[in-house]
Amino acid sequence: MSVSVILASSSPSRRRVLLQAGVNPNVSVSHVDEPAALEAAAARFGGRVADLDAKQRVEILARAKARAVASYYRSVAQVAADAHGEQVTAYPLQAPQVTDAGAGGVQSDETQTGSQSRFAGAKPPVADARFRPADVKHSSDGTSDIDRTVTQDFSGLAVPTRTEPLDEAMAGLHGFESSSHGPLIIGCDSMFLFGGETFGKPHTPQVARERLTAMRGKSGELWTGHCVIDFATGRELTEASHARVRFADYTDEQVEAYVSTGEPLEVAGCFTLEGLGGPFIESVEGDPSGVLGISLPLLRRLTGKLGIDWTWLWNWQNTSAVQPGFGSRPQAQDSDIELRVAAATSPQGRIRQPGDGWVECVCGSRHWGRHGAAGILLARRDERTGEVTDIVMQHRAQWSAEGGTWGIPGGAITAGETPIEGALRESYEEANITPDDIEVVGTHREEHGPWAYTTVIAFEKPGHRVDPHPNDDESLKIGWVPVPNVAGLKLLTAFRTDWPGFTERLDRLAREYKGK
């Protein structure tokens, strides 16, 4: 059995510990208001925050983070489960072959018509490995003379399609609520207890300087709360680990140099065991991985109590695919595709999710998403007439594939989620499109055999308003764009190809859509 893990933290240290233990988690930041969470918990106890000890505080915050992420995933799962309408699947690699002359033409109208009717009522076979778009010249080593991260333009081909009810298209797909266990959501929080005072992150150089000066030659306790929620069953366990840390008698100059690096500003206790601060720690008594922010022995015990064997969390293929040089574990292999890590031009420190990676497709392009990719085409309707007026558009970051173009928010699907769930998750993480405010009314899937992209079509629910804005570094801008203005933008190749069909379908869906 394989159980996926969702880490409710953007901490590089926690993710690194899990990776080194063979677990590549999906990272989902909780955005919990920590002071408010502590105040609410203290009020329930009938006291003040000052009355809470270190163990209570880290457990309260770990639980709040895990529950916030679990609640968000339940919203995603519910909206996906309520999705209705039709899925239109396009098979561009089964379009009539380009002529041998390579003049950009296609075969005769008679052949095109035959190809379209050939697939009526039945799924076409997988992509023809011989297919090559006319405008791509391949050298003897198999590379292209154009940037292969640019999606091929299939607008000149008669592409066969298949239409089926959405519930039938999604039947049998593995999603959030289809497993007996998982995904496993892990929330953590760390605090340092020194001299009877609880330290969180110092945030400023002055606070870090004062704390490091007070701590030298002495010891304190690092407490880390852990909350583990099994999404499938709803069962939840919370516990804390702790260890005693003794510091070296370092100099004022060393304190100043360490603070100037910025490393101690955003870590509990203003030190790191695995970073630049490591040489200034004399000893650790207790769980060392807990000092790094996440206790592996404690997690193993908690998952065991939930009926999940720790080895079920291992996803070595994922970790090796996104973490070059990770031990000697085997790289992921597939007879049809070659997996590649993200482009080296992406921002340093950017989190690589389990589904991230390039797929070498038989169409000659490299596609993003080891399990495919998906995005949300979200439309706003006129409250009076019901007509579609605007859609949410993303101005893509320059470092991304076809950077600087406009498209819809979305990204790589991760293992253990359906395309609809992946699109909902990605659009929230990228564009703040909140699942509870939208209704999925159909999908469009471009099928390449070893890879596919699913456009999830949605409307704002009546009485709801989505406020899209960039949530990460993948966008230059995100916002509502009037439908008449879309064609005038510099569009992502695939979206430019599909936009005329999308406008027709949006108009039809708007006439049919009743809303809830």
345 burial type by CB count under 10 A (0-12 exposed, 13-18 middle, 19+ buried): exposed
Q: Among residues 437, 408, 436, which one has the least CA distance to residue 423?
A: 408
Domain covering 5-80+181-312 in this structure, CATH number: 3.90.950.10
Question: Tens of pLDDT along the chain (516 residues)?
Answer: 789 999 999 888 999 999 999 999 999 999 999 999 999 999 998 899 999 999 999 999 999 999 999 999 999 999 999 999 999 999 998 888 543 333 333 333 333 333 333 333 334 333 333 233 333 333 333 333 334 556 677 877 889 999 999 999 998 787 877 678 889 999 999 999 998 888 888 999 999 999 999 999 999 999 999 999 999 999 999 999 999 999 999 999 999 999 999 999 988 888 888 889 999 999 999 988 999 999 999 999 999 999 999 999 998 654 443 333 222 333 333 333 333 333 334 455 567 788 888 888 888 888 889 999 999 999 999 989 999 999 999 999 988 888 899 999 999 998 889 999 999 999 998 999 999 999 999 999 999 988 999 999 999 999 999 999 998 888 899 999 999 999 999 999 999 999 999 999 999 999 988 775
**Quick check: 282 and 272 in contact, CB under 8 A?**
no
Give DSSP secondary structure letters for 44-97: HTTS-GGG--HHHHHHHHHHHHHHHHHHHHHHHHHHHHT--SEEEEE-GGGSPP
Q: How is residue 2 written in tokens?
A: 């394989």
Measure the CA–CA gap between 453 and 90, rounded to whole angstroms. Answer: 10
Per CATH, 5-80+181-312 and 87-176+363-512 having the same topology is answered no
184-194 and 197-199 strand pairing = antiparallel
Q: What is the DSSP letter of 447?
A: E
CB atoms within 10 A of CB 307: 11
* Choice among 189, 287, 390, 498 that is catalytic: 189
Residue 379 DSSP SS3: strand
Angle at 495 between CA 491 and CA 498, to 5 degrees: 130
Q: Any catalytic annotation for residue 507?
A: no
pTM: 0.81
Packing angle of the helix pair 419-431, 54-81 (nearest 10 deg): 120
Q: Among residues 448, 361, 416, which one has the least CA distance to residue 80?
A: 416
Give DSSP secondary structure letters for 116-170: HHHTTTSPPPSPPTT---TT--B-TTS-BSS-TTSPP--TTS---EEEEEHHHHH
Q: Where are the domains of the chain?
A: 5-80+181-312, 87-176+363-512
What is the fold of 87-176+363-512? Nucleoside Triphosphate Pyrophosphohydrolase (3.90.79)
Half-sphere exposure of 250 (CA within 13 A, CB side): 24
Packing angle of the helix pair 54-81, 34-44 (nearest 10 deg): 110
Place of tokens 């519910």: 78
